Amino acid sequence: MLLLVIAAMGLLMGAAVHLTLPAFLAATAAITLWLLAFGTREGLARARRR
């Protein structure tokens, strides 16, 4: 499993090298916002179950 994660990270980092800086920053911001929204939603759902 760890080898698969390392290979996926290498593939994604290699793809990021070929992007322009504004495109890379936009993609990073979009992923960050999605992760924050997901974490918030899951945290609220967990708090409601208690």
| Residue 11, pLDDT above cutoff 90 | no
Does position 16 have pLDDT exceeding 80, yes or no?
A: no
Position 46 scores a pLDDT of 92
Listed residue (42, 12, 39, 41) closest to 27, CA to CA: 12
- What was the pLDDT predicted at 15? 79
Nearest alpha-carbon partner for 28 in 43, 13, 46: 13
Per-residue model confidence as pLDDT tens digits over 22-47: 988 898 899 999 999 999 999 999 99
- Structure pTM? 0.64
Helices and strands, counts by H and E, the chain: 2, 0
